[in-house]
Amino acid sequence: MIPFSPPRIDDKIINEIVAALKSGWITTGPRTKLFEKKLTEFTDAKAVLCVNSATAGLELLLRWFGVKEGDEVILPAYTYAATANVIVHCGAKPVFVDSNAHDFNISVEEIEKAITPRTKAIMPVDIAGLPCDYNEINALVRRVDIKSLFEPQTKEQEQLGRIMVLADAAHSLGGWYENKRTGNLTDITVFSFHAVKNLTTAEGGAVCLNLPLPFNNEEIYKYLCIKSLHGQNKDAFQKAKIGNCQYDIVEAGYKFNMTDIQAAMGLVEIDRYDNDMLIKRKSIFDKYTAAFINKKWAWLPVITNEIKETSYHVYLLRVRNIIEEQRDAIIEAIFKAEVAVNVHFIPLPMMTFYKKMGYSIDNYPVAYSNYACEISLPVYYDLTDEQTETVINVVCEAVEKVIY
Contact 190, 61 (CB under 8 A): yes
Q: Report the top-level CATH class of 11-271.
A: alpha beta
Q: Per-residue pLDDT tens for 179-199?
A: 999 999 999 999 999 999 999
Q: Is the peptide bond before 214 cis (omega within 30 degrees of 0)?
A: yes
Domain ranges of the chain: 11-271, 274-403
Contact 97, 110 (CB under 8 A): yes
Gap between the Cα atoms of 203 and 194, Å rounded: 4
Task: Look at strands 72-76 and 119-122 and give their pairing.
Answer: parallel
The whole-number pLDDT of residue 239 equals 60
Stated pTM of the model: 0.97
Instruction: Please give the mean pLDDT across all residues of the chain.
Output: 96
Model confidence at 241: pLDDT above 90: no
Q: What is the average pLDDT across 29-41?
A: 97
The whole-number pLDDT of residue 243 equals 62
Q: What is the average pLDDT across 248-263?
A: 95
Model confidence at 321: pLDDT above 70: yes
Contact 106, 76 (CB under 8 A): yes
DSSP class of residue 277?
Answer: I
Residue-wise DSSP of 300-356: PPP-B-SSEE-----EEEEETT--HHHHHHHHHHHHHTTB--B-S---GGGSHHHHH
Short-list 231, 210, 108, 217, CA closest to 166: 210
Q: What is the average pLDDT across 219-248?
A: 82
Q: Per-residue pLDDT tens for 37-67?
A: 999 999 999 999 999 999 999 999 999 999 9
Please name the residues in contact with 316: beta carbons below 8 A apart, sequence gap of 6 or more: 104, 127, 128, 301, 344, 374, 376
Angle between helices 54-64 and 81-89 (to 10 degrees): 40
Model confidence at 404: pLDDT above 90: no
Q: Report the top-level CATH class of 274-403.
A: alpha beta
The secondary structure element, H or E, covering residue 189 is strand 188-192
Model confidence at 4: pLDDT above 90: yes
Q: What is the average pLDDT across 115-143?
A: 98
The whole-number pLDDT of residue 174 equals 98
Gap between the Cα atoms of 232 and 154, Å rounded: 22
How confident is residue 10, by pLDDT bands cut at 50, 70 and 90? very high
The secondary structure element, H or E, covering residue 76 is strand 72-76
The whole-number pLDDT of residue 271 equals 98
